[in-house]
Structure 1
Amino acid sequence: MKRFLFVLLSILIFSCSLHKKEYVLTYTGLPYQDSTLNIPKHILPGIIQCEYYDFGGEGVAYHDSDNKNSGSGELNKGISYLDQFRVSEAVDISYTKFHDDIDNSPYSIVKPKKDQLYIGWTEPGEWIRYTVNVQESGMYQVGAMYTSNRGGSIRLFIDDTDSTNQINIPTTYDSMIH
């Protein structure tokens, strides 16, 4: 099994390449684990949700352009586990509730399930890191469910090496039904 460190800028799409052991040895973040939601270690092939980025804080596991969590810290005022999910970190995390047009917009062509955690309010230059165990050598591709009213771009770094260049992502806003 090989261990990779992924750095995602804003959203998620990536493919694996070669492992650099010396980079992994100097990384101070810790892989994400959650006993409440029973989240296993990140293994490829498999599914990695954006909000399950590494532990380590600002500058290690993530970079956020402001010091507030616009989801758990400001939007979600309840006391449930989802309302308080990673509330002390600046990465903007929320979950779908479907009680208003934010999560249930008739103009969005993406329809996530209820109580789906997500990272939102992303700005250029923000990034998040994931430690991933790869079970078998080879090329891997992962698609992403995302919403964007303007479109944008993402990149993937593996062990601090740009592995994708810029990937443009289209808007999910459906102007045909607006």
Structure 2
Amino acid sequence: MRVLFTIDDRIYASHLPLPQGKHAVQLIFEAQIPAQYKTQLMSFLKAHELVTVRPETFSLNQLRNGQITKFKGDIYIGHFERSGKVKHTGIAFNVQNTILNEPVSTSQRNGQFYVLGLGNSTCLLVHKIGHTPSYDQIAKAHCDYHAGQTAEINCSTIGPVKSFKLADFLNAKTLYLETKDFK
């Protein structure tokens, strides 16, 4: 499954990781969809806290390795496994630019974040999922990182961050937060 979010006019998909097993992977990529759905999807993404995709069955490892560049999926308002409502079925997704592709390491402590420069003074702050209890958090912030520039930072809190008080990141806003799968 993927959670979808938008930054500027781009659509991003994040694999919803689990703490263990074959889904213990943090994977975020830019997604392209057919033009006839893009305007409506952008509206969904702005109007709803959570929009997810239930993809067709395929190998996550092949997606991670670049062997899968296209897939189809059903778009849901809400979490499709938790009473989300289907809005579109069989939508084609093209995998464009993978910006994060890391395994979950439950041996590390919580409170560390990947910083992913997207360009246009925008960064994603993605929590490095650590030992349980943990959480999956993605935030957007203004920063001076260039597109493709990445770093790792430590945060003073081990739980989900409500406010990033780091001078390099302004106006941070959480785009996605999951705690239930990481208890």
Q: TM-score, normalised by structure 1?
A: 0.24
Structure with max Cα Rg:
1
- Greater per-residue strand proportion: 2
- Greater per-residue helix proportion: 2
